[in-house]
């Protein structure tokens, strides 16, 4: 647009001072100067008008991003673990970060009850929520050139969706470094509770509770449903 504006300004200056024969009103030697001043002023006015439509493109090279998320929940630190075990793990992660920094901008995070920046876990979170992790990272990095996410966790969770389901809509590749003891323990958990949340006051209504077990075999267990200290079902 700038060259076009310059041509129009010069043409307008010529039109004003040279389209007619010399009438003797203006000295001949002043016409080039007046034409230059007229063309310059018209060019500046045109540039002020078209400047909002002029764009300048700058290409700034940017490294892609790689995310490392460390589980900070209490389940990560077992009773028979030693600090030396986690010192070794921390050194391995630091070495991995140094290696990745050559080609990526590495962002380190901690997750559990919440997601936040950090490198040094204290394993104090009472919750582990993978669904919250994936949603937060999608919101924070969804429009950035993220090449992958490395999750360091024992896989135990007590909030949100199952990790594989929570990761399904995540837009970036996910890598997992599994930690913890591979020995399987007895586990009993509430799988699902089905209840009508809208009922008449003081009226009876059904509650359906599903439990799931792991590695119980033929072992027996006792389950109680309690409300305000009163056993409703056993």
What CA–CA distance (Å, rounded) separates 215 from 203? 39
Supply the pLDDT for residue 42: 74
Q: Sign of torsion, CA 215 217 221 223?
A: positive
Which positions of the chain have pLDDT values less than 70? 1-2, 4-5, 9, 13-31, 50-56, 78-84, 181-183
Supply the pLDDT for residue 100: 94
Which candidate, 185, 162, 151, 160, places its Cα nearest to that of 72? 151
Which candidate, 84, 89, 76, 183, places its Cα nearest to that of 127? 76
pLDDT tens per residue, range 155-205: 888 888 999 999 999 999 999 998 876 667 777 778 788 888 888 888 888
DSSP string, 99-138: HHTTTSEEEEEEESSSEEE-S-----BS--BHHHHHHHHH
Supply the pLDDT for residue 192: 82
Supply the pLDDT for residue 165: 92
Supply the pLDDT for residue 26: 62
Q: Which domains does the chain have, with CATH numbers?
A: 2-53 (no CATH), 65-178 (3.40.50.410), 187-233 (no CATH)
Supply the pLDDT for residue 108: 96
Supply the pLDDT for residue 21: 57
The answer to whether the CB of 43 falls within 8 A of the CB of 6 is yes
Q: What is the DSSP letter of 63?
A: P
- The helix/strand/coil state of 49 is helix
């Amino acid at each position: 647009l700038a060259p076009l504006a310059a041509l129009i300004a010069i043409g307008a200056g010529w039109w004003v001072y040279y389209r007619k024969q010399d009438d003797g009103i203006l000295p001949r030697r002043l016409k080039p100067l007046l034409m230059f001043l007229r063309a310059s002023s018209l060019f500046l006015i045109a540039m002020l008008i078209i400047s909002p439509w002029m764009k300048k493109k700058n290409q700034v090279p940017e490294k892609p991003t790689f995310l490392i998320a460390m589980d900070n929940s209490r389940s990560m630190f077992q009773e028979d673990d030693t600090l030396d075990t986690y010192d070794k793990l921390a050194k391995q992660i630091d070495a991995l970060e140094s290696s990745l920094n050559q080609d990526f901008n590495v962002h380190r995070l901690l997750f559990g009850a919440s997601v936040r920046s950090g490198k040094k876990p204290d394993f104090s979170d009472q919750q582990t929520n993978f669904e919250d992790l994936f949603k937060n990272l999608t919101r924070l990095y969804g429009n950035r050139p993220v090449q992958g996410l490395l999750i360091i966790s024992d896989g135990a969770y007590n909030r949100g969706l199952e990790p594989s389901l929570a990761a399904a809509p995540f837009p970036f590749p996910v890598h997992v470094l599994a930690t913890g003891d591979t020995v399987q323990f007895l586990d009993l958990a509430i799988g699902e509770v089905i209840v009508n949340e809208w009922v008449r006051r003081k009226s009876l209504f059904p509650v359906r509770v599903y439990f799931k077990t792991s590695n119980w075999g033929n072992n027996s267990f006792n389950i109680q449903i309690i409300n305000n200290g009163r056993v409703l079902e056993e």
